[in-house]
Amino acid sequence: MAAVQEPSLQDLDILEAIHSIIARYPPLTADRHRLQIAVRDGVVLLAGHDRTPITRLYLIDRVSELDGVRGINADGLYDDESIRLEIGRILPEGVIANVTYGIVVLSGKLPAGTTEAAVTKRAGAVPGVVQVVTHFL
């Protein structure tokens, strides 16, 4: 069994600076419990969910400016607004999507010939969706 490598002091400093960025920007403060952050050898891994693309970009931009950051992987960082827009492109008319931290609530009225299972499956396939809940009329 391989030994787990402890983060370096520089990685811990970067992590502390990221937490400071989050604490100073109110939209990120609200999202802080939905974010996962790791630093290994100066490479920052950002994952989870925030509410808007602006908040997502703000975090990525501020982190990229930190001393010691050699790279950022934000492939697993999603924002609810982008998820909602992507789902809106694939939903049939009459179906409404609301998204909160990757949880999608579909409501409205299903058009004739469309099943709840099919719509749920399509919405669940959108990157960043963690759960789909339905509440159709």
Same domain, 94 and 41: no
Range of the domain at 115: 81-136
Same domain, 60 and 106: no
| Structural domain includes residue 3 | no
Same domain, 105 and 44: no
- CA gap 98, 107 in Å, rounded: 8
Same domain, 106 and 50: no
- Whether residue 11 contacts residue 38, with contact meaning beta carbons closer than 8 Å, is answered with no
* Predicted confidence (pLDDT) per residue in 74-130, tens digit: 999 999 999 999 999 999 999 999 999 999 999 999 999 999 999 999 999 999 999
| Structural domain includes residue 36 | yes
| Structural domain includes residue 75 | yes
| Structural domain includes residue 4 | no
* Predicted confidence (pLDDT) per residue in 16-45, tens digit: 999 999 999 999 999 999 999 999 999 999
How do strand 103-108 and strand 131-136 relate by DSSP bridges?
parallel
- CA gap 72, 93 in Å, rounded: 38
Domain boundary among 55, 79, 103: 79
Position 101, amino acid? Y
Best CA proximity match to 69, nearest among 136, 128, 15: 15
